[in-house]
Amino acid sequence: MILLEVARKDLTLYARDVRFLATLGLFSASLTLILSMAFGPIYQDAPREAAATMWASLFFAGVLGLTRSLDMEREAGGGDALRMSGADPYAIYLGKTLANFLLLAAVFALLLPLTSVFFDVGSLSGLPRVAGVAAIALLGYSAWGTLFAALARGLQARELLLSVLLFPSLIPLWIGAVKLTHALWGEGGTASVGDWVKVMLVMDVLGLGVAAWLYEPVQEAGE
């Protein structure tokens, strides 16, 4: 199955580049530390500040991951090979989205305990629901991020432009993730901010849907 093969290829490239993975982990951990110091030592609203810190760190680290995935593909020449293979462009896109999603999920797995310790928030019983929020947010981030990263492939200063494209566009996902995580850590439920789940799901579906239509021309433009 092309989707899984592409995801496996990208994940293998990530796994081979240990220095990149270490840098990504250190970068996101440093961001969390700096923001927790900025908010602390006495927190006004620990669940709110913790949620904002974790998601800001994750979104910034995500840009680093997306940019690196482009560089690795160019260095390894895998992108050209994939395009010439005649594989369905949308399957290629989904495979890349899956790989980026798993990379971000790994960063989330690192940041969640760090944030919990620094801000003294969260509990094991609430973990599945926080993970659920993360799954929705990171799926949307990967869906849009993979499309934008493909767009930025041939641009000069693509790291900067990718940030300029991603951050304003993904504001609904970011606010939703912060609101829901804050509610889960603060109130133990999402009843007061439940509408955000719908907004984030719409973003996910839109990202995957728009890419189904636009990824092929974007891929052609990069040739």
Partner 1 sequence: MTRTVPEGWRKAARFVWIAALVLVALSLVMVVRAPTERVMGPVQKIVYVHVPSAIATMIAFGITFAAGIAFLTTRQWFWDALGAASAEVGLVFATVVMITGPLWARSAWNTWWTWEPRLTTFFILWILYAAYQVIRSSLRGPSKRTISAVLGIVFFVMYPVTVYSVNLWRGSMHPQNVTMQGNMRQVLLTSMLAWVVFYVAVLERRLRLEWARRAAEEERLGVGAPAPRGHVAARGAEARGR
Interface residues with partner 1 (CB under 8 A)? 147, 151, 154-157, 161, 164-165, 168-169, 171-172, 175-176, 179, 195-196, 199, 202-203, 206, 210, 214, 217-218, 220-222
CB of 165 to partner 1, least distance (A): 6
Q: Which is nearer to partner 1, 58 or 218 (CB)?
A: 218
Per-position DSSP letters for 1-68, written without gaps between them: -HHHHHHHHHHHHHHH-HHHHHHHHHHHHHHHHHHHHHH-SS-SSHHHHHHHHHHHHHHHHHHHHHHH
Q: Which is nearer to partner 1, 28 or 181 (CB)?
A: 181
Question: Whole-angstrom Cα distance, residue 217 to residue 89?
Answer: 9
Provide φ and ψ at 187, rounded to 5°. Answer: -105, -15
CB count within 10 Å of CB 181 equals 29
Question: Whole-angstrom Cα distance, residue 76 to residue 61?
Answer: 22
CB of 91 to partner 1, least distance (A): 19
Q: Which is nearer to partner 1, 110 or 134 (CB)?
A: 134
CB of 78 to partner 1, least distance (A): 20
CB of 30 to partner 1, least distance (A): 26
Q: Which is nearer to partner 1, 106 or 214 (CB)?
A: 214
